[in-house]
Amino acid sequence: MAIIHCPTCGDPVKVTGDRWECSWCLDFGPVSSLLPSERAKLESDHYYVYVDFSELEEGVEKIQTGMRLLYENPDTVRRMTWDLFAFSVSQALLKTTDNRLAHTRYLELFYKEYPYFEMWKAVKFAFKKNKAYLAESFALNGETVGTFWKDIMPKLVPHSTNASWAETEMKGMLEGISQIEAIFSKEEESEIFERLWNALRKYWDDYAAEMMEKG
């Protein structure tokens, strides 16, 4: 098995997305700052043991927790979780031109760990077309609200007068999305979350007001 070495002290490093960090000397940086021989190893399938997927997995788990409260069918929960994950990573990749090769390699290895490798092909196809995967369903910003967010509104509006339950669960889902996107984009996780939450909260409030008017 190949080991990716720290350019400072030579110890093995942990690779996350397009970043690496050394637990021995505490140095860190982008994959582009590794020695050429180490960067070449990242083209091989043999370094996957040393790649850290914990942040991605934690983000997926947060999304899945929210999906479990929205859907009863386990298959629907899994499908919607991985669809939203795929949208999140593809959207983040479109926001940066830096280290795309390292990012896509990292994602390919991640997908190989799970039974959704075929989805990776669809994500790559959308990326080549300069589009986010399933954007029509999961887009959430000041201008666009995807069909997924619109469809779940009836599940949330009954709680809008005492919103602690729904807000907690929706914030958890958005935290998962933000955590995932931050790995691949240059944005801070907190900035991504704030943007998503403001967009969802506005649409949520508008929808609740409209339902109240209709009686």
Amino acid at 161: T
On average, the pLDDT of the chain sits at 84
Give backbone dihedrals phi and psi of 140, rounded to 5 degrees, phi first.
-150, 105
Please give the residue that has the higher pLDDT: either 159 or 39: 39
Is the separation of the CB atoms in 174 and 83 below 8 Å? no
Give backbone dihedrals phi and psi of 116, rounded to 5 degrees, phi first.
-130, 30
For residue 49, name the pLDDT band (cuts at 50, 70, 90).
very low
Highest mean pLDDT among 12-16, 31-35, 122-126, 191-195: 191-195
Q: What percent of the chain has pLDDT over 90?
A: 33
pLDDT of residue 162: 47
Q: What is the reported pTM?
A: 0.75
When pLDDT is averaged across residues 62-89 and rounded to a whole number, the result is 92
Structure tokens at 175: 């935290």
* 42-to-35, 37, 127, 143 alpha-carbon distances in Å: 11, 9, 21, 38
Give yes or no for residue 215 having a pLDDT over 70.
no
pLDDT of residue 97: 67
pLDDT of residue 136: 95
Please give the residue that has the higher pLDDT: either 199 or 168: 199
- Residue-by-residue DSSP string for 116-129: -HHHHHHHHHHHHT
* Residue-level length of the chain: 215
Q: Which of 59, 95, 76 is nearest to 103 (CA)?
A: 95
Give the distance from CA 21 to its chain's centroid: 21
- What whole-number distance in Å separates Cα of residue 54 and Cα of residue 56? 5
For residue 48, name the pLDDT band (cuts at 50, 70, 90).
very low
Task: Output the furthest CA–CA distance in the chain (Å, rounded).
Answer: 68
